[in-house]
Amino acid sequence: MIIIGELINGMYKALAKAIMDREIDVIQHLAVEQAQAGAKALDVNVGPYSKDPKEDMKWLVESIQSVTDVSLCLDSTKADVIEEGLKIAKSRAIINSTDADEEKMNTIFRLAKKYKTQVIALTMDKSGVPNTKEKRLELAATIVAKAMDMGVNTEDIYLDPIVLPVNVAQAQGLEVLEAIREFRLLSDPPPNMVVGLSNVSQGTKARSLINRTFLTMAVANGLNAAIIDPLDKDLMDALIAAELIMNKQIYCDSFLDAYRKK
Ligand code: THG
């Protein structure tokens, strides 16, 4: 499982403040902790309150890279904000994200080629997030075809079916799980698939329980990457156990420790 740490995101009130007030210790501490907990990449999102997203992105990337060499997953709806991070990224980055809109894919896939990055592609378009697995699959096929057309390696694409909160979009959980199952058939080897896990529990009680239950179900359906809170120990234990059951890790009595040492 490719773990992408979700915690450096201005969506969190405390983080929005840390970005605004340039509290570098807060950012660097979160970067180091997430990397130590097993994150292979860190999501970096300046959040909705940023007054200067390009400048904030630049500061975040510099601050993180001076304490860890983990990859960065540059998260913004704006290509120019992402490019600000790409210009200074030291290791291979992930662009988060494009959607299935033709113009957006042109812009983002060009950036991906210019900076030799990987790309998360959301299975949505101008009309929003689809309600069904069928529409998600159709958009996923459009994305894969466009990537091939533009010479972006499909192994460098992560399809994201878009997880919605279970309290307001309860029927969507199953659609997402079935979409993941079917995305697998789009290419051989199967495409990478990622979710923003914590979306599922936004606004609910028992968030950690809902997160880890959904994650294990998604792993059973073939998910191989996830934007998660790697500091949630119960979540990480559930993930490791799920990969064990899926025969992706070899069993030994100390499998939790063995995985963490890797
Ligand atoms: N797909 C992709 N990227 C994504 C998402 C996705 N990036 C952002 C998001 N979704 C994943 N990251 C988060 C980070 C935080 C929360 C949810 C998803 C979260 N935040 C608290 C909340 O909203 O309740 C903040 C509360 C606070 O202020 O502290 O839940 O789906 N490709």
pLDDT, the chain, mean: 97
Place of tokens 């979409």: 179
What is the C-alpha to C-alpha distance for residues 31 and 29, in angstroms, rounded to an integer?
5
Task: Please tell me the predicted confidence (pLDDT) of residue 262.
Answer: 82
- 2-261: which CATH topology? TIM Barrel (3.20.20)
Query: Ligand 1: residues within 6 Å at CB?
Result: 6, 9, 11-13, 43, 75, 96-97, 120, 160, 162-163, 196, 198-199, 202, 227
What is the C-alpha to C-alpha distance for residues 4 and 6, in angstroms, rounded to an integer?
6
Other beta carbons within 10 Å of 216: 18
How much distance in Å is there from the Cα of 199 to the middle of ligand 1? 6
Helix axes 102-115, 79-86, angle to 10 degrees: 10
What is the C-alpha to C-alpha distance for residues 19 and 238, in angstroms, rounded to an integer?
32
Write the residue with the smallest CA distance to atom 27 of ligand 1. Answer: 12
The predicted-structure confidence for 6-26, as pLDDT tens digits, reads as follows 999 999 999 999 999 999 999
What is the C-alpha to C-alpha distance for residues 18 and 9, in angstroms, rounded to an integer?
10
Residue 124 contacts residue 100 (beta carbons within 8 Å): yes
What is the residue extent of each domain of the chain? 2-261
Tell me how far the alpha carbon of residue 251 is from its chain's centroid. Answer: 28
The predicted-structure confidence for 146-196, as pLDDT tens digits, reads as follows 999 999 999 999 999 999 999 999 999 999 999 999 999 998 888 999 999
How much distance in Å is there from the Cα of 196 to the middle of ligand 1? 7
Task: Please tell me the predicted confidence (pLDDT) of residue 179.
Answer: 98
- Give the position, in ligand 1's atom list, of the atom nearest the Cα of 120: 32
Q: pLDDT confidence of 87, banded at 50, 70, 90?
A: very high
Q: What is the mean pLDDT of residues 51-79?
A: 98
The predicted-structure confidence for 19-57, as pLDDT tens digits, reads as follows 999 999 999 999 999 999 999 999 999 999 999 999 999
Task: Please tell me the predicted confidence (pLDDT) of residue 133.
Answer: 98
In this prediction, what percent of the chain has a pLDDT beyond 70? Answer: 100
73 contact partners, CB below 8 Å, separation of at least 6: 4, 41, 42, 43, 44, 93, 94, 96, 120, 227
Residue 53 contacts residue 76 (beta carbons within 8 Å): yes
How much distance in Å is there from the Cα of 60 to the middle of ligand 1? 17
What is the C-alpha to C-alpha distance for residues 220 and 5, in angstroms, rounded to an integer?
21
How much distance in Å is there from the Cα of 150 to the middle of ligand 1? 30
How much distance in Å is there from the Cα of 16 to the middle of ligand 1? 13
Place of tokens 């894919």: 105
The predicted-structure confidence for 221-261, as pLDDT tens digits, reads as follows 999 999 999 999 999 999 999 999 999 999 999 999 999 98
Residue 66 structure tokens: 């001076």
Residue 123 contacts residue 159 (beta carbons within 8 Å): yes
The predicted-structure confidence for 206-224, as pLDDT tens digits, reads as follows 999 999 999 999 999 999 9
256 contact partners, CB below 8 Å, separation of at least 6: 237, 240, 241
